[in-house]
Chain A
């Protein structure tokens, strides 16, 4: 059984692509055959984060238009077994994502992959709607600040009404919350919303809290999913999130201030 998971947020710049890369890599590391699909047609980034931008020949839109078949367009990750990337087109716009085309490609991916991670573009327009439409599950990425939380709330509403599951009257798709760029210090100073604040507003299950970390930027620049940086707090937090996604019960780390964080790492790491 294949599962289609959309990584979405509404707001831009909160870490959707970083999260898509990390979760996809994490799932593949756990032995699940995983494809990660960049829906951000026109502003493709996933290939950069995954470090495969120099191997892109064909893209998602080529496959939709029948210029290439899926096998030609999928890029096998060099670092992680079981992981494939379907890059977005940089030269087209999101109108190129037709519902029939997207359905066909996801259908074909479903026959081969256990998990299909859809990296949604920002916004609530066509690209984002297409990324979410066929999803079985959603991971909503939020920064602990008011506008990001508001946009995520909006996106949750859209997920419950504008997806195929909603239109066919099935149960709403399960949505998980992933808070990124979390800084316990700034929460303590009252400069940021706390985990509890965010969870109270959005009232969905918490998949993980990723601390604000230089490691994320370094990993992006190096074209490496941050989850592979096992030394870093962000990398470990993503690992935990993947484990929770697969049903494991792990305590949340990195959500209290630095001192406790170090203790937590020493004892649990």
Chain B
């Protein structure tokens, strides 16, 4: 083995896509929140313990800041690891006080989420106060990285490419589910369910080496296996949405 030509860097930034659960809080009495968390904890203790979550407090606009903070504390006490607050008018003023970063989701259709959070109002200001800062215009050319899966997606597994395309180099087994906000490419047989454009992108498409799916869906419109004709099944298929109809074409 020859010596490594370039010295090893002490740090390295990697643009990996990770799936994180979003915990959406709704206005509720502290006791109700506790009970709900306890119930979930009881159902799936292994899953919930130390589970990293991003908290979405958008629905809590009328709740005083102090109560929001104690709600976050309650969540923390139940073993969930808070890794950030989903950016909203409600959460923005709390970022400094909680020490949690504000997290902005990828641009949605219509671009109502600014790419960067608006400047934060002073900490003293009441949280109900709406931010006066002008909204930052949505950035046009944002490239959301595609999620590439190099393993077969097996029965019982679910893969979701949030905000982008999903590329699967192997098979999608019967009983597996693959979802993407954008297109789905399957370079093996597609035998499970494939749902493209799950947040409403009509132009999303599904491409597959072989179509033998249990269900295909684009932007909420779907066809189940029974509705897919034998002649439509086969090699090299493209699935698109035209109007309200799912069309299956040969590539």
Contacts and interface: CB of A to CB of B under 8 A. Distances in A.
A161 B46 CA distance: 14
A153 B173 contact: yes
B175 interface: yes
Interface string B158-202: 000000000000110111100000000000110100000000000
A156 B174 CA distance: 13
B154 interface: yes
B5 interface: no
21 contacts: A150-B155, A151-B155, A153-B154, A153-B155, A153-B174, A154-B154, A154-B175, A156-B152, A156-B154, A157-B153, A157-B154, A157-B155, A157-B173, A160-B154, A172-B151, A200-B189, A201-B174, A201-B191, A203-B152, A203-B170, A203-B171
A124 B153 CA distance: 17
Q: Chain A binding site: helix, strand, loop or mixed by DSSP?
A: helix
Interface string B131-162: 00000000000000000000111111100000
B157 A150 contact: no
Contacts of B151: 160, 172
Interface in A157-200: 157-158, 160-161, 172, 200
Contacts of A158: 156
B171 A150 contact: no
A221 B96 CA distance: 71
A151 B175 CA distance: 10
A215 to B, nearest CB: 32
Given A150-B175, A156-B152, A201-B173, 10 more contacts: A153-B156, A154-B154, A154-B155, A157-B153, A160-B154, A200-B189, A201-B171, A201-B174, A201-B191, A203-B152
Interface in A203-217: 203
Contact of B157 (A157, A172, A201): A157
A157 B174 CA distance: 12
A176 B174 CA distance: 20
A153 B188 CA distance: 15
A154 B176 CA distance: 9
Nearest to B170: A203
B207 to A, nearest CB: 20
Contacts of A200: 189
Contacts of B176: 157
Report which residue of A150, A157, A160, A201 has the largest number of chain B beta carbons within 10 angstroms of its beta carbon.
Answer: A157
A250 B23 CA distance: 54
A201 B157 CA distance: 15
- Give me the 3 closest cross-chain CB pairs, A-B, nearest first: A157-B154, A153-B155, A154-B155
Interface in A133-164: 150-151, 153-154, 156-158, 160-161
